[in-house]
Structure 1
Amino acid sequence: MVFPELFEEYKVLVRKADNAFKMMRQDYGSCIPCRIHCYDCCYAIFGLFLIEAVYINYHFHSLKGRERREAIIQAEKMETELLRVKDRISIFDDDPKTKIYGVGKHRVRCPLLNDQKECILYDHRPIACRLYGIPISINGKASVCGKTEFRKGVAYPTFNLDTVYKELYRLSKELLEQAGSPYLEKAALLISVSKAIRTPLTNLMEENFE
């Protein structure tokens, strides 16, 4: 099951993210240490909207068998670690802000990161990965990778991730509609990279994710 038109719309968002990073690097290159084999972002915990999970899944299965097998093994480890993180932060269930902060403090290796510290799906990596080294804004709050040289108290251009999230939600909802799913509310769910590559494509639109 492939959704070429939705994939093209998704890639518009990808280009928007790439262009934002490129412009920031041109203007603030000394603040951005991103380079080959810099993999701090590959240990960050984040979720994928359904459209992005399906896109990642589709391209993941074009990889060589050995790469896929090694990634699946790492994905199983990631799922175990994510369950541990979920258990640790469960004490903050009544405090969403503290819970989000707690998630951000944990580090879990992405299954797409190989032993050579390279992303095996780099050309099709998630939007969050493409923006990791520049200032972003979510719900009106700015954040940036701690390894950068952006200084507190100094104003910098900030990429508004909320606008991208709205588009990812819209595309995910359209994907569910095209797939004939009656559960359009799943468009708001976030899926881990590990589940995105381990779950059969058709099942991604049928399962529940937290």
Structure 2
Amino acid sequence: MEFKDIFTKYEAIVAEVDSAFNKVAEQADDGIKCHKGCSDCCHALFDLTLVEALYLNHKFNEKYSGMERSQILERADEADRQIHKIKRNAFKASQAGKSASEIIKEISLARVRCPLLGTEDSCDLYESRPLTCRIYGTPMNIGGEAHCCGKSGFDKGKQYPAMNMDVLQNKLYELSKEISDSINSSYKELSEMLIPASMALLTDFTMEYLGARTSKKAEPEPEPEPLEVTPQACSTCSEDKSACADCNYSVSLGQAPEKD
């Protein structure tokens, strides 16, 4: 299943984000500490929007097969079990009365190794990595609050250019809605799905899984045009057949009545 046009739009957003990252890096002095071999963001817990999950799944299926694919999927399965446990504990904490802010803080401190993080601490799908991975090292504005990587060199209290995550998320939701609309999904909230990277790799995103409705209502058949009747001569008299209704005889053995 392909969403070529929508993926092209997504890649345009990726290009914008990469450009913005470079601009922030230029203006942020020595605040951004991202370098080859650093994998701090590869252990953060975050979810992907539908369009990101489908794109990552598509690129993974394009690139990997055989033993390499199996190894990554094994890591994805392990990561997914860890994430499920963390979210289950968070739910239990909320039922026990713990505040949302406390739960969110605990989740933000959770560490789960990304299944795409290879043995040499490098991303196995780096060119197609999600947007969160691309901007992790920059200051981020999320719901009006500032966030940044724990390994960054930004000074507290000092102002820096920041990525507006709310605007970025809205763009991703719009593309996700395009996907949902394009397949006429029966799931009303499909475009609002949030999916861990591990599940994005493990899932077989079939049309059935996405609730696609491809059947169309049959168009009504056009009504037949009225037939044109051309009067024809009757075989028993000189009148045309339209006059038979007024005739006062019935035909018997093919004999025509004698005329007065």
Using the size of structure 1 for normalisation, the TM-score is 0.93
Amino acid at match of 1:37: G
Aligned-pair CA distance for 1:14? 0.7
Partner of 1:48: 48
The answer as to whether partners of 1:72 and 1:197 remain within 8 angstroms in 2 is: yes
Partner of 1:183: 187
State how 1:78-93 maps to structure 2 within 5 Å.
Answer: 78-90=79-91, 91-92=93-94
Amino acid at match of 2:2: V
Moved more, 26-35 or 94-103: 94-103
In structure 2, how many angstroms separate the alpha carbons of the residues matched to 1:85 and 1:23? 36
Amino acid at match of 1:15: A
State how 1:24-103 maps to structure 2 within 5 Å.
Answer: 24-65=24-65, 66-90=67-91, 91-92=93-94, 95-103=99-107
Relative contact order higher in (CA < 8 Å, ≥ 6 apart)? 1
Partner of 2:170: 166
Amino acid at match of 2:64: K
Larger fraction in helix: 1
Aligned-pair CA distance for 1:21? 1.0
Moved more, 147-156 or 89-98: 89-98
Amino acid at match of 1:132: Y
In structure 1, how many angstroms separate the alpha carbons of the residues matched to 2:114 and 2:126? 12
State how 1:134-149 maps to structure 2 within 5 Å.
Answer: 134-149=138-153
Amino acid at match of 1:28: A
The answer as to whether partners of 1:196 and 1:204 remain within 8 angstroms in 2 is: no
Amino acid at match of 1:57: N
**Structure 2 unmatched ranges of 5 or more:** 212-260
Aligned-pair CA distance for 1:87? 2.9
Moved over 6 A (4+): none
What's the % identity of the aligned pairs?
Answer: 35
In structure 2, how many angstroms separate the alpha carbons of the residues matched to 1:20 and 1:184? 33
In structure 1, how many angstroms separate the alpha carbons of the residues matched to 2:169 and 2:210? 18
Q: 2:137 aligns with which of 126, 133, 136?
A: 133
Post-superposition CA distance 1:49-102 (Å, at most 9, x none): 101100000000112323321110100110111122123322035633322222
Aligned-pair CA distance for 1:8? 1.1
**Aligned pair in 2 of structure 1 residues 29, 37: CA closer, same or farther (>3 Å)?**
farther
**Structure 1 unmatched ranges of 5 or more:** none
Aligned-pair CA distance for 1:126? 0.1
In structure 1, how many angstroms separate the alpha carbons of the residues matched to 2:11 and 2:184? 23
**Aligned pair in 2 of structure 1 residues 183, 67: CA closer, same or farther (>3 Å)?**
same
**Aligned pair in 2 of structure 1 residues 118, 12: CA closer, same or farther (>3 Å)?**
same
What root-mean-square deviation, in Å, do the aligned CA atoms of Structure 1 and Structure 2 show?
A: 1.5
The answer as to whether partners of 1:67 and 1:120 remain within 8 angstroms in 2 is: no
In structure 2, how many angstroms separate the alpha carbons of the residues matched to 1:57 and 1:43? 19
In structure 1, how many angstroms separate the alpha carbons of the residues matched to 2:210 and 2:50? 8
Using the size of structure 2 for normalisation, the TM-score is 0.76
Partner of 1:205: 210
The answer as to whether partners of 2:27 and 2:161 remain within 8 angstroms in 1 is: no
Aligned-pair CA distance for 1:16? 1.5
In structure 1, how many angstroms separate the alpha carbons of the residues matched to 2:33 and 2:46? 21
Aligned residues: 206
Moved more, 150-159 or 78-87: 78-87
Aligned-pair CA distance for 1:184? 3.1
Post-superposition CA distance 1:133-189 (Å, at most 9, x none): 000111111100010000110011111010111111111111011122121312112
